[in-house]
Structures are given as C-alpha cells and as structure tokens.
Amino acid sequence: MPSISGVIKKRIAGALLIALGVLALTTPFAAGRWSVAILGLPLIAMGVAEAYIAFTSSRGTEASAYLPSALAFLAGNVLLLSSALVHHGSFLLLIAILTVDGFGKIIAAWRRSRPDRLPLAFNGLVDLGCAAVVWYLSRFIGVVQAIGIIIGVYIAAAGWRLLMVQVESFAPDAAARVLNLHPDPGLGVPGNESFARLRSETDSGSHFVRDADLLWMSTLGIVFLAIHAGRMPLTDDMLGRISPFVATVGDVLMTLVFAMVLMLPARLAWRRVTRPVERLAWSLRLDAEQGAARVNPVADRLMRRWLEARFAFSLRLREARRSLPFALILLLRLGLPVTAFFVAFNPIWGFSWYFNTESWATGIYQKLTELRVDPWRANMIDAVARAYGGGDELFRIDPQGTAGNGDFSFLVIGDPGEGDASQYSLASRYLKLGQSDDVKFLVISSDVIYPAGAIEDYEAKF
C-alpha cells in the first residue's frame, strides 16, 4: 500500500502543475513581449518536477522514464534563452518536442497496467493535440498567444495526470529488509554479517558525514562568491551588485549539470565495469575475516578501504533514491570539485561562455533586453534622420579609392576575440593585409568585446 506522504506529495505536485498551467495561459495577455521568455520558466519547473517523480518511481533506472522531463526542460530553455527565435517562426522546434513527447507517452501507456494506462495515454493525446493546435492558432491569434495557450494546456494535463494516476506502492527490497545483504544487488554476493556491521557503522556516522559535507560545500560556495566579487567589475546599479551572486548560482547549476551528465554516469559505469573485481575482493576479504585465507596486511588495508568506500557509495545511492535532499547532496559531492577546477583556472584558459558563470549575469541582462535592441536601433536612426534631415545617405561612407568601376578589396573581421594573446597574435597579420594598395577599408562586425561587452574593456581589447 502506498504511503500517505507519497500520495500527498504527488497530489500536491499535480495541483501545483495545474496552477502553473493556468498561469501560463494568462501570461501572454499580462506580460506582453516578455511572455515567450517567461513561459520557459513553468516548462523548466515542470521538467524538474517530472524528473524527480521519475527518479523516485519504480522506473527510476530506466532512461525512457526521463524523456518527458528532458523534453520539457529543453522546450523551456528554448523559450527562455532564445525567445527571439520563436518570434521569427522557429517555434517548429516546440511543435517537434510536443510531438515526440506525445508519441513517447502513448507508447509507454501500453506498457503500464490498466488503471495507469488511461491517464498517460490521454496525456500523450493532449500533447499531440497541442502540437497541431499551436500551428493552427498561430495563424489567427499570433505565435505568442498560441504558445501560451498550448503550454498552459500541456502543463495542466501533466498535473491532471499526477492527480489521477495511482501512486505506486513500493515493497521494501531485499537489501532493505535484510541488513546483512550488500546494498548493490547487481554485485551478486551472498549475505554476510560484515555487511550488517558496515551498515551500522555507516548509519552511526552518517550525520557527521553530512555535517562535514555541508561545511565544505558551504565553504566552497563562499569562496566562489569571493572570487567572483574580486574578478567582476562591481557597479552601483542593480546588475552590478547582483552579478557575483548570479555567477555563484551559476556555479551551483553548473555543478549539478556536471554531476548528472558527467560524473554520476561515469561513476555508475565504472562501478558496473569493476564489479567482477569488487566481487573477488569481497570474497577474499570475507574469507580472510573467517581465517580461511591469508592476505598481505598492506594489501588487506588498501582492499578494505576500497570496499568500504564502494559500500558507502551504494548506500548513498539508495538514500538519494528515497530523498531529494540526499540526491542533491550526492550530486554536489560529485560535481563541486569539477566546478572548482573551472572557477580557478578560467582566467588562465580564457573560457568565457559555458564554463564561465561570470558572463551569465550579462547573459541574463541580454535576454531581458534582446527584444528591445532592434527598436532602440531603429529609433536612433530615425532620431538622427529627423535632426539632420535626409535618409540613408546620412549613414553612407565613401572610403578613398572606391569610386568608379575599378576593383578594390576590403577586410571583414567578425568576433575578434577576448583581448588575450590569441587575439593580439593576429594584429600583425591584419596590419600587413591592410597595407596592400587594393585594400580600401575594414569592417568590424558582431561581438567586438568579450566576454560581456563591459565598457571598461573597450580601451584594452578593442
């Protein structure tokens, strides 16, 4: 029988998703030009909720269980980070995501028991209907309003599914019922009282381990904040004040991504590959404890430490499956060392984008203003034309040597670089090309100041 707390959590999650769906329905009418980017946030929240529900379900080890959450997270990021693309018709990606998710849910429904089949299949049909309707409505009420309606229905349908589907009842597995079994059933070793002793020792010291983990994680977070505050230009405006905190939050997000995408899969793959070695090591260790085999003291000590570490990791995995806080702590343990490496060495290697969270604050500001950039530029051109009179000829340039019908050359430099040695190494080449008689002018395009276009970087880099 499912626990009362499990039922309540799932019903609350369903109700919250329905509320998010209603919010998404009203967003296009309340937020105006910002609505597409804002609609990405409910989708990301839905993706996180779906991922946690899949992780704590009986299908938590199946990759297909995470497809709806991955698709929702992808669609949310498309809307949040590339909202301008949606305005120009690239919402076809959103339609494709809805279609794939719909077919995936319908296929998964046939594998479920009869009581769970109807909600999941209906949810898949809703997704397919959303994909068809978003295309139809976009021609009559506009892309933004159509996307808001479809996303609202999509999220509300997911909430309805959580309200209607039966909550799974988990019977305690053998490793949980019998303390003398190893927590990794894939290892296939027989039960032994040594496992019960290790469980007891691990449980008795678990709160000390958690306290130590929280201490060094918090210390690293404070160090990250101090590093960002020292490296980033602080200004008196709101963006300047919050930039170090945005970068630190980015470090935490990057940590979770590293852990989920790189460290945890690698750790699980290594555990699977080395299981035969671990199985042999446990056999030797248990025989040595019973006096049936003799092992070199140094080798015995090293083997014991390795086996205890593997045992503890298996226990932490089981705890993470049952508790979101334990899962977060496990991911932070795995990912923070990698993040610390990138934070420390970023200025040396010059990574300025995905692995440099100090540019994320400016990226957020850019996303908030990208829909207004083109109107600003158009208004500036109109203002100059009104002030001086005339049209496009006000902005025309006539470099010397370009008149007449003769051929000439010019240089175009795009995305010049980061103001470091790799950029300066090309300066002599540019100057040599520019000294050619047929080269009449130079055009510099695209992003001229890396990583974030800060005004104080122009003199040194541009």
Looking at the fold, whether 88 and 130 belong to one and the same domain comes out as: yes
Q: Quick: pLDDT tens for 19-71.
A: 878 877 777 766 566 666 777 778 788 777 777 777 666 665 565 666 777 77
What is the Cα Rg of the chain in Å? Answer: 29
In a domain, 107, yes or no: yes
When divided into structural domains, the chain yields a total of 3
pLDDT given for residue 173 in this prediction: 46
Looking at the fold, whether 77 and 28 belong to one and the same domain comes out as: yes
Query: 440 φ, ψ to 5°?
Result: -105, -25
Looking at the fold, whether 348 and 420 belong to one and the same domain comes out as: no
Looking at the fold, whether 113 and 74 belong to one and the same domain comes out as: yes
Nearest to 268 by CA among 216, 316, 323: 316
Please identify which residue in the block is written with the tokens 């999509």.
154
Residue that finishes a domain, picked among 140, 164, 188: 164
Query: For residues 316 and 311, what is the distance between their CA atoms, to the nearest angstrom?
Result: 9
Looking at the fold, whether 131 and 189 belong to one and the same domain comes out as: no
Query: For residues 115 and 164, what is the distance between their CA atoms, to the nearest angstrom?
Result: 10
Q: Quick: pLDDT tens for 136-184.
A: 776 666 666 777 777 777 788 777 777 766 655 544 444 444 678 888 8
Query: For residues 282 and 75, what is the distance between their CA atoms, to the nearest angstrom?
Result: 46
Q: Is 441 left (phi over 0), alpha (psi -120 to 50) or beta?
A: beta
Looking at the fold, whether 157 and 284 belong to one and the same domain comes out as: no
In a domain, 391, yes or no: no
> What count of residues does the chain have?
462
pLDDT at 80 over 80: no
Residue that finishes a domain, picked among 341, 362, 383: 362
Query: For residues 462 and 416, what is the distance between their CA atoms, to the nearest angstrom?
Result: 8
pLDDT given for residue 409 in this prediction: 93
Looking at the fold, whether 140 and 180 belong to one and the same domain comes out as: no
Contact call for residues 56 and 322 (beta carbons, < 8 A): yes
In a domain, 381, yes or no: no
Q: What is the mean pLDDT of residues 81-101?
A: 65
Looking at the fold, whether 130 and 197 belong to one and the same domain comes out as: no
Token reading at 359:
């540019």
In a domain, 388, yes or no: no
Quick one: 255 exposed, middle or buried, by C-beta within 10 A (0-12, 13-18, 19+)? buried
Residue that finishes a domain, picked among 338, 362, 386: 362
In a domain, 382, yes or no: no
CA dihedral over 258, 264, 269, 274, signed as positive or negative: positive
Whether this model's pTM surpasses 0.75: no
Compute how many other C-beta atoms are within 10 angstroms of the C-beta atom of residue 228: 22
Looking at the fold, whether 356 and 290 belong to one and the same domain comes out as: yes
Query: For residues 42 and 305, what is the distance between their CA atoms, to the nearest angstrom?
Result: 45
Query: For residues 16 and 175, what is the distance between their CA atoms, to the nearest angstrom?
Result: 35
| Residues 329-344 as b or e (16 or more Cβ within 10 Å = b) | bbbbbbbbebbbebbe
In a domain, 267, yes or no: yes
Looking at the fold, whether 196 and 273 belong to one and the same domain comes out as: yes
Alpha carbons within 13 angstroms on the beta-carbon side of residue 397 total 6
Query: For residues 157 and 203, what is the distance between their CA atoms, to the nearest angstrom?
Result: 41
CA angle (255, 259, 263) in 5-degree steps: 130
Domain that holds residue 152: 4-164
Looking at the fold, whether 14 and 141 belong to one and the same domain comes out as: yes
Q: Quick: pLDDT tens for 373-424.
A: 778 888 888 898 888 887 777 888 888 888 888 899 999 988 887 777 777 8
In a domain, 367, yes or no: no
Q: Quick: pLDDT tens for 413-457.
A: 888 877 777 778 888 888 899 999 899 999 988 778 776 666 777
Query: For residues 282 and 273, what is the distance between their CA atoms, to the nearest angstrom?
Result: 16
In a domain, 194, yes or no: yes
Q: Where are the beta strands (DSSP E) in 312-368?
A: none
Cis peptide before 244 (omega within 30 of 0): no
Looking at the fold, whether 119 and 268 belong to one and the same domain comes out as: no
Query: For residues 184 and 198, what is the distance between their CA atoms, to the nearest angstrom?
Result: 13
> Can you name the residues that pair with 206 across neighbouring β-strands?
none
